[in-house]
Amino acid sequence: MKTLIKRLSVPIAIVLMAACDSDSSSSDGTVVYSGTGQVGSLAALVEFQGDLHAINTNQKVSILRSEEFLSADYVDSYSWIAETLHVYDDSHVMVGHSSGVDIYRSTGDLDNPVEFIAQLRHLVAYDPVIAHDGVAYYTTRDGSNEITFMDGIFVENISDILAYVPPTQEEIDEGASNVRPNSTSMAEYRELAEPIGLALREGTLYVCDAAEGLVPLLLEANPEESAEFSHVLTRQALNDVFPCKDVIATEQGLMLVGESGVIQLDVSDTGLSLVSQIPTI
């Protein structure tokens, strides 16, 4: 299990490098940069509705409120065995852990700020997750073929889950359904040895693989109407090898974090090119 220091080192680096006051999106609606405090898919701390949500040493998510002292007396917590955090549209928090991805919605209630609404579940693995336009993208890896054989990249439609508001007990008593919606599998890709972090930029999914480095995948509609999945992920060629553990999309291109440090890449029609590099001290 990762220690707290190891867990925080990558996201802190990404927060520091990504901090900026800009906000932009691509022509196809894919957000490529969300401004100050943007984090990668391996993040253990995120800003959500003005508060800091951070994975603590007990693998729960602590809520540190901006207007209170940083004291245990003011900390609420939720979830369990948490590994990664992702914020969707400042309305939902997605918690990746060893058996799935839990989705929580904001309640607007300070005493109970988030509530669990759904889980994307599978066997034992580790789950960095990102989401955009009602679609969740996540990787699973076990680091060993003896555990689950679940190394892969998965794409699921979660629009019904994100729209779901649990009924009150009074509404249930009056006949309201309490059946929680499920996600719909759209695509999966099983040809990487150990996928880790991921980011979406202008329709391309960039995945960091421990063995192969950065791998770009294009999500397209499946031409076979009777196929198991409605979409396919197709690997795109790169002009170089870029080792990494996590990646975020920026207005200018991509930012990678790995064992050697932080590198910034420019994205163009001719491929990826190195812009800058900060080596690990």
CATH number at residue 166: 2.120.10
This model's pTM is above 0.85 = no
Residue 175's domain comprises 4-279
**pLDDT value at residue 270:** 85
Is 130 exposed, middle or buried (CB count within 10 Å of its CB: 0-12, 13-18, 19+)? buried
| Helix, strand, coil percentages, rounded to 5, for the chain | 10, 45, 45
Statement: residue 73 has pLDDT above 90 = no
**pLDDT value at residue 125:** 65
Alpha-carbon Rg of the chain, whole angstroms? Answer: 19
Express each pLDDT in 171-222 by its tens digit.
999 999 989 999 999 999 999 989 999 999 999 999 999 999 999 999 999 9
Express each pLDDT in 16-70 by its tens digit.
333 333 344 443 444 444 434 467 899 999 999 988 999 998 899 999 886 666 5
Token couple for 157: 């439609």
**pLDDT value at residue 60:** 92
If phi > 0 it is left, if psi is from -120 to 50 it is alpha, else beta; for residue 127 that is beta
Domain count, the chain: 1
Q: What percent of the chain has pLDDT over 90?
A: 59
Is residue 76 very low, low, confident or very high in pLDDT (cuts 50, 70, 90)?
confident
